[in-house]
Amino acid sequence: MASRRLPFAAVAAVLLLLLGVLHGAADAKSSSSSGKMKSLASGFLDAHNAARRQVGVSPLRWDERLASYAARYAAKRSGGDCALVHSHGPYGENLFHGSGVGWKPEDVVAAWVSRERALYDAASNSCRGGNAAACGHYTQVVWRRTTAVGCALATCAGGRGTYGVCSYNPPGNYVGVRPAHIAIVLILLSIVILLPGNVVVVGAYPRGGGDYRMQFLGQQNAARAAMGLPPLVWDERVAGYARWYAESRRGDCALVHSSGPYGENLFWGSGTGWSPAQAVGAWLAEQPRYNYWSNSCYGGMCGHYTQIMWRATRRVGCAMVTCYNGRGTFITCNYDPPGNYVGMRPY
User: What single DSSP character describes residue 125?
Assistant: T
pLDDT of residue 237 exceeding 90, the answer is yes
Instruction: Annotate 235-260 with three-state secondary structure.
Output: CHHHHHHHHHHHHHCCCCCCECCCCC
Last-in-domain residue among 169, 199, 228 = 169
- 225 & 318 share domain: yes
**Per-residue confidence (pLDDT) for residue 293, from 0 to 100:** 87
Q: Which residue has the higher pLDDT, 140 or 187?
A: 140
Last-in-domain residue among 169, 190, 224 = 169
pLDDT of residue 127 exceeding 50, the answer is yes
Give the predicted TM-score (pTM) of the model: 0.48
In a domain, 345, yes or no: no
- For the segment 16-71, what is each residue's pLDDT rounded down to a tens digit? 555 554 555 445 444 556 667 788 999 999 999 999 988 888 899 999 999 999 99
Residue 20 burial by Cβ neighbours in a 10 Å radius (0-12, 13-18, 19+): exposed
In a domain, 3, yes or no: no
In a domain, 158, yes or no: yes
User: Angle 98-101-103 (CA atoms, 0-180°, nearest 5)?
Assistant: 65
In a domain, 197, yes or no: no
Residue 282 burial by Cβ neighbours in a 10 Å radius (0-12, 13-18, 19+): buried
In a domain, 200, yes or no: no
- Total Cβ atoms within 10 A of residue 319: 23
- 150 & 217 share domain: no
Q: What share of the chain is helix, strand, coil (3-state, %, to 5)?
A: 35, 20, 40
- 162 & 220 share domain: no
Last-in-domain residue among 169, 187, 220 = 169
What CATH number does the domain containing 159 carry?
A: 3.40.33.10
pLDDT of residue 317 exceeding 90, the answer is yes
Domain containing residue 299: 212-336
- 226 & 282 share domain: yes
In a domain, 281, yes or no: yes
- 142 & 250 share domain: no
In a domain, 87, yes or no: yes
- 49 & 130 share domain: yes
pLDDT of residue 181 exceeding 60, the answer is no
- 126 & 221 share domain: no
**Per-residue confidence (pLDDT) for residue 157, from 0 to 100:** 84
Do the beta carbons of residue 333 and residue 316 sit within 8 Å?
A: yes
Structurally, the chain folds into a number of domains equal to 2
In a domain, 241, yes or no: yes
| Model confidence band, residue 12 (pLDDT cutoffs 50, 70, 90) | low
